Structure 1
């Protein structure tokens, strides 16, 4: 109905007063709301993703949920409308990008921790940075086994400490690795293009082996200097160890008598010289 009575609001098909209900002589134009039965009010055009089915109010690919580039026009009943809400950052991130961000972040954290000496990077020997192309030999010297020389060196040094009333030194794996790393750097610095170790590198290798301050000493002895301590310094491993203890203690008497319990020793031979490095804590 397009008209109704101004007094009793009875609807009429035409503007033809008076009202046949109350007799009032004036009609007004009726405003008829669209009722629930109106299909136009109930259905609204939308665009659905052909991959995940997410509905969008506009044709604006790609899909905000999965990134698919194809949207299909569709209509939806009013009571079926999906509450799309606002698009959050999780909606626009694809899984492969999330994984990429995580891997990159992990790599950066690892590099920072390695730089700070907190951890060691993979691809290192015994967890420590490799020292490549070191001149000389860290395994044998004049046919003598250097590992045996290092062991006998510590035994004889402990004998001297015991005679002076000092505690025995136990060989620490971490301090031994540090002595080896440091000694190789000293050799490369003298015979190659290397440089000495840094405090950060040393502390990174020591880790928790020392609860307090650590001490170090390193020397290079020529064959003539060793011969001054023994006429045949390379007769066997025991003689070489005794000779090294004599030469080392003479230069580091205070160091050798520190009342500490852990140590690491490394011996390296190059061009007629014996390099020895020792750490203690």
Structure 2
């Protein structure tokens, strides 16, 4: 007893679908003997991506790997690639393959540059190099009446060391780089107060070549217009410096830790006699 495919009529020895010609899943008994050959023009499955003809609906395509097949009947269609026994990838010109690969690499680099994975021209991180500039705000950072603020800064450190030693904090020495960092932060605060400039940042301080990685930045201001004594009534720099140190400590602020024993200091007097003090400790 012979069996044949209900769809394309391909004969089979056993009732064991699917059909190896069209992939149909149901056989029927052949009442009469049928030819073993598939009739020319019988059903076939054609890949819609590259045109490769298949006997079964069994993706993927043996040529291009596509999965979209279409059932067709009639005489087989001519396929020039069948004659040369090659696939689509083999007939693509080398220069185009190289071009596509170069474009893919370029696009990948552009994406990495945009997300910050690598640095490319035009995609460099917007991070300024070197220390930020030090502002020249209103008021004075040199003298107030007959008092030298530079001398007041030196005396401030001396008085500050006395107060530190009194609580077991050890003494500190002035450092020029820390002085610049303190001036950047202090004068930036003055500029922001009186001229609405952008305020300084801790990141700006870290852009200086500091002798430590995590400096302590202490910044405060003293408004002598609220007390009986105006800033221009101090008799000398020692009196002014002592008042500034004690004003900070008397507010209940603690003495900051200094691992390297270094300090940078800036004192600036605003146009309304408000005194701004910033020191940076390492």
1:217, 1:252 within 8 Å by CA — same for their partners in 2?
no
1:202 matched to which residue of 2?
Answer: 205
- Tell me by how many angstroms 1:248 deviates: 1.7
1:242-257 residue pairs with structure 2 within 5 A? Answer: 242-251=242-251, 253-254=253-254, 256-257=255-256
TM-score by length of 2: 0.51
Q: Secondary structure at the match of 2:141?
A: coil
1:162-181 residue pairs with structure 2 within 5 A? Answer: 162-181=165-184
- CA shift digits 1:35-55 (9 cap, x unpaired): xxxxxxxxxxxxxxxxxxxxx
Question: Gapped runs of 5+ residues in structure 1?
Answer: 1-107, 121-127
CA distance in structure 2 between the aligned counterparts of 1:117 and 1:201, rounded to whole angstroms: 10
2:172, 2:263 within 8 Å by CA — same for their partners in 1?
yes
1:6-25 residue pairs with structure 2 within 5 A? Answer: none
1:73-222 residue pairs with structure 2 within 5 A? Answer: 116-120=127-131, 128-132=132-136, 134-205=137-208, 207-210=209-212, 212-222=213-223
- Tell me by how many angstroms 1:226 deviates: 5.9
Pair 1:231–1:216, CA change in 2 (3 A):
closer
Pair 1:193–1:148, CA change in 2 (3 A):
same
1:226, 1:243 within 8 Å by CA — same for their partners in 2?
no
2:77 matched to which residue of 1?
Answer: none
Runs of 4 or more consecutive aligned structure 1 residues displaced over 6 Å after TM superposition:
none
2:153, 2:241 within 8 Å by CA — same for their partners in 1?
yes
CA distance in structure 2 between the aligned counterparts of 1:162 and 1:233, rounded to whole angstroms: 29
The size of the alignment, in residue pairs, is: 160
Pair 1:232–1:190, CA change in 2 (3 A):
closer
CA distance in structure 2 between the aligned counterparts of 1:232 and 1:277, rounded to whole angstroms: 20
- Tell me by how many angstroms 1:193 deviates: 2.3
CA distance in structure 1 between the aligned counterparts of 2:221 and 2:194, rounded to whole angstroms: 12
Q: Secondary structure at the match of 2:207?
A: helix
